[in-house]
Amino acid sequence: MRHFTLIITLLFFAAIAQGQKIYLDSSVYENGQLESKGLYYQMGNNSWQWGVWEYWYENAKKKLDLWSDKTKTRYLNMWLPNGTQILNSGNGYYYSIEPDSNKDDSLVYQIKDSTKSGEFKRFRSYANRPYFLIETGFYENEKETGIWYFRDTVLKTTIITTYKNGQQNGVEIHYFMDGKLKDSVNFLNGKQEGNYKEFSNNGIVIKDCNYKGGRLNDYYKEYYPKGQLKLQGQYTQGNGYIKVSILSIGINGSRFLTKNRFIEDKPLKQGIWKYFNDKGQLIRTEKYLNDKPL
């Protein structure tokens, strides 16, 4: 850790010379035990963890040492609650907990030279029940790589994804718990690209459409559970607005606001859309031009 301390000392004086603010911050548990301490670097209205941060368990045993700046985090040392060291001088394993309303996820990363490189495992606990393995994958220099497997017996789903350089590239496949195909779509640089098909648990296609750059484009079809055509139409992409949720933080707390955002690749309904009943009879048609009914 001496190397990181020297870097922090040099950057500390450089920041002061540039008029930036560096301050010590800490947090404590309800029992008064120190939970974490470290430095924050402030530039204008923005601030971030900076330098070496130390963390402890509620029983006062050491938990974690890491190094942070604006762009990256480096993992140095970590201990389990019983005192066993699982990460030593940047090599070993690091874990974090992601709590939710009805479940907790425990994420375990292999660390090499203080970065996430190697195997990854996600364990899940529902309603404080024992953890079970639900996801495996690999990291290379902090980025997801290769084939990742996800299987949750509570959600009753299995997912296989492929990553390259931190982005999804290749086919993503969802399966029902009995192993039957649920849906599949190709990804290119993190966005859906090409044909998408969704199946019922009886193996019948219930949706067939196409994506371009992560958004609907070209043909679109839906089917009834027994396979009869339900509707068909076509999309093109063009200028338009979509609704997005934006986190707003103010003096009265934080909340999500819904706003319109302009994009150049919004899916736009075009031409004649046809709707059928489950007997195959045409029940209505709609005509669109650039998503507007005619």
- What is the tens place of the pLDDT at every residue in 18-63? 557 888 899 999 999 999 999 988 887 788 888 999 999 999 999 9
pLDDT at 95: 95
Q: Tell me the per-residue pLDDT of 91-129, one tens digit each, with 9 for 90 and over.
A: 999 999 998 888 999 999 999 999 999 999 999 999 889
pTM of structure: 0.82
Residues with Cβ within 8 Å of 202's Cβ and at least 6 positions away in sequence, in order, are 225
Q: pLDDT by residue (tens digit) across 218-275?
A: 999 999 999 999 999 999 999 888 787 776 655 555 677 788 888 788 999 999 999 9
Domain region containing 6 = 1-89
**Rounded Cα gap, residues 163 and 147, in angstroms:** 6
Q: How many domains does the chain have?
A: 1
Compute the distance between CA of residue 252 and CA of residue 62 in angstroms, rounded to an integer.
35
186: in domain: no
- Mean pLDDT, the chain, rounded, equals 90
**Would residue 224 count as lying in a domain?**
no
Rg for the chain (alpha carbons), in Å? Answer: 25
> Do the domain assignments include residue 220?
no
Nearest Cα to 144, choosing from 123, 174, 118? 118
Provide the percentage of residues in the chain whose pLDDT is more than 90.
Answer: 75
Q: Does any domain span residue 238?
A: no
Spatial contact of 41 and 14, defined as CB atoms under 8 Å apart:
no
Q: Taking residues 150-168, what's their average pLDDT?
A: 95
User: Is residue 160 domain-resident?
Assistant: no
Residue 226 domain-assigned (yes or no): no
